[in-house]
Amino acid sequence: EAQVTQNPRYLITVTGKKLTVTCSQNMNHEYMSWYRQDPGLGLRQIYYSMNVEVTDKGDVPEGYKVSRKEKRNFPLILESPSPNQTSLYFCASSLMTGFAYEQYFGPGTRLTVT
């Protein structure tokens, strides 16, 4: 089944404790992206990647890091989480060739930083 998976689905952590949220897709998509969703602010892009070893900042990259060492994986790293990073995080992927460019989203990771 074609899908985007994220782990963990739920995470409660404390300020300053480094964490990684994994994202993996099995559709051989070149493009991958991270979004965060906050009440009243909607979904905003954090980082994106157009292919292996090619990453760039989105609209709200502060406090986050990403890496793209393999095509299928795009982890989101919070080196020193803070309470304002409490949010619902989504990973997405799509092809970069062809016509449709439909984006597929993972199930989300709910992060709470205390």
Partner 1 sequence: KQEVTQIPAALSVPEGENLVLNCSFTDSAIYNLQWFRQDPGKGLTSLLLIQSSQREQTSGRLNASLDKSSGRSTLYIAASQPGDSATYLCAVRLFGANSKLTFGKGITLSVRP
> Residue 86: beta bridge partners?
none
User: How many chain residues touch partner 1 (CB under 8 A)?
Assistant: 29
Nearest to 73 by CA among 18, 2, 4: 4
Asked if 99 interacts with partner 1 (CB under 8 A), we say yes
Asked if 101 interacts with partner 1 (CB under 8 A), we say yes
Asked if 34 interacts with partner 1 (CB under 8 A), we say no
Beta-sheet strands, E only, within the chain: 4-7, 10-13, 19-25, 31-38, 42-51, 54-57, 65-66, 76-78, 87-94, 104-105, 109-113
Q: What does the alpha-carbon distance between residue 114 and residue 100 come to, in Å, rounded to a whole number?
A: 41
Figure out which of the listed residues 56, 70, 79, 80 binds partner 1, where binding follows CB under 8 A.
56
CB of 15 to partner 1, least distance (A): 24
State the residues that interact with partner 1 by CB under 8 A. Answer: 31, 33, 35, 40-43, 45, 48, 50, 56, 58-59, 88, 90, 92, 94, 96, 99-108, 110
